[in-house]
Structure 1
């Protein structure tokens, strides 16, 4: 919604998720949030979870999914999140996991039993060549069997990759290079469609060599206001109390500022992009900080990310609406 002063105002929401942590057991090439084992081991607190669930209900959202990072890396912390959701009457649609934590079957069974007792009905199990670089398929299959035993619904994301992954040794992890050598380059080109992938975050670097690109001048010439920042579906709220529009990762809006006209100073860059687009950001970075673009980019979000990364990491710009900083470092 455009506020009376022309700035962005997010006054209602439709569907989204909660990020419990950014640190992860994997560093997947497609990760929208640039999660990895290198992030600080910070986890959402019960107090923040409570605040997020109250905010969700205030803006009309009564059910969410939970993801990371890998939520199961702090199981005790995760149970408290589920308890806060229950206290606030917010239904957890599903939990996302990569199955990396499934080491001891007895311990895994106990964790699933506890989650079921807390009302968890569905768990999304990640299945893809991206995850297989870090997680052997054997672990994934073991978790699927344990979920069946526990009576918890399985959301396999995405089951269609199982025949591909089973071509390899399920006891081991397998690199992207192995997939290209086995299936060819066209296999990689088809992955974004097969995985319903947003080419943002780390996926920019992964796929930019496989798809046609445009020069910064071409992108700027055709740029328009970035109304994606006003997306109300598949948004996320993270452990720091940030609202992240889909697919505008690397931006953050305090959940305390939802429902308000976003302040021109505090949200200088968000409002710039929302009202004028990436062309204005490009001009700003070039004229004020000497930004020089690369030869070509996948799309306008790729150019936007490159400019922001330059401002955050090279020019040390401390802007409230850019972050977390580790998002830019873990690319």
Structure 2
């Protein structure tokens, strides 16, 4: 196996978030992290949280958001993570939630009050056709009313979808196909721009039938080193103590290795892509494992994901920088 010089070095970061868990009450068709109810019910520990927040401080970052998965599925775990953020002087900008946990109003109100007492000032409430497949709008509206009552700011993401979702019965969930039938394919095509979507993760499968694809030859011919792996904004630190560059999901870099030139053996694929690009990954998979691509893909990230999924799931290829495995399984 050819070695690649480890050239990627994460030296600066500007803004990002913390993933407390990957398991979720939904398996949304746009999810960047392929979250779903099928993931193991693992949650960020106090030890990892402390390590993550200390690492953030080293980079001069003093505020982050918290997301998942669905962070509220382990409320006691969420409070422990927030406490560690407070201990390390890290401000929580907002916590993301899909409102699936809002059942009993009294219990939900109490949880919000506890969060407010811990210093939480804003909650991002997910509002979209993707979430409406799993969560009835009634729950979302109930959470919004409770947040107003408790005095926590609401970050509605995205409020502009409300008129469309309200066209349906708010007591029930509604499939993506219902939205297509009601609003048409052009509506679906507008969603990535409307929602500021990154067409990666599960969004690849969802949108590849609606957008033109590029041939493998075209992607390979126009490829260049994947410097997205050195993204400094909207990165995430996950519950396993890994740094995930945006939008390069399915890759992981230990936070212990930040600020170092990444070892070429430990980070074989990260460095291959960062220094050479998708054409080298394609060549590696084809020559060593007999990888056969589809005829066309949305973009280079779509091809990259297909190759990595083939290696992880079909060839059981284990590499430190590819994972978690469930990310590839839950596509």
One fold, TM greater than 0.5?
A: yes
Aligned to 1:54: 54
Q: Secondary structure at the match of 2:302?
A: helix
Give TM-score, length-normalised by structure 2: 0.98
Q: Secondary structure at the match of 1:310?
A: helix
Q: CA deviation at 1:250?
A: 0.1
Aligned to 2:220: 220
Aligned to 1:241: 241
Q: Note the 1:48-197 alignment, pairs <5 A.
A: 48-197=48-197
Give the Cα separation in 1 of the matches to 2:150 and 2:258. 39
Give the Cα separation in 2 of the matches to 1:173 and 1:296. 33
Aligned to 1:253: 253
Give the Cα separation in 2 of the matches to 1:311 and 1:150. 49
Give the Cα separation in 1 of the matches to 2:193 and 2:324. 28
Q: Secondary structure at the match of 1:17?
A: strand
Gaps of at least 5 residues in structure 1 are none
Q: CA deviation at 1:244?
A: 0.2
Q: CA deviation at 1:322?
A: 0.1
Give the Cα separation in 2 of the matches to 1:233 and 1:32. 15
Alignment CA distance shift 1:62-1:277 (3 Å): same
Per-residue CA deviations over 1:158-179 (Å, capped at 9, x if unaligned) read 0000000000000000001100
Per-residue CA deviations over 1:139-158 (Å, capped at 9, x if unaligned) read 00000000000100000000
Per-residue CA deviations over 1:65-117 (Å, capped at 9, x if unaligned) read 00000000000000000000000000000000000000000000000000000
Give the Cα separation in 2 of the matches to 1:141 and 1:193. 24
Aligned to 1:287: 287
Q: CA deviation at 1:217?
A: 1.1
Give the Cα separation in 2 of the matches to 1:181 and 1:29. 17
Q: Secondary structure at the match of 2:296?
A: coil
Task: Tell me how large the CA RMSD over aligned residues is.
Answer: 0.6
1:318 paired to 2:318 = yes
Give the Cα separation in 1 of the matches to 2:146 and 2:186. 35
Q: Secondary structure at the match of 1:198?
A: coil
Give the Cα separation in 1 of the matches to 2:218 and 2:60. 40
Q: CA deviation at 1:12?
A: 1.5
Give the Cα separation in 2 of the matches to 1:9 and 1:298. 29
Q: Runs of 4+ in structure 1 displaced over 4 angstroms?
A: none
Q: How many residues align?
A: 327
Give the Cα separation in 2 of the matches to 1:6 and 1:55. 22
Aligned to 1:22: 22
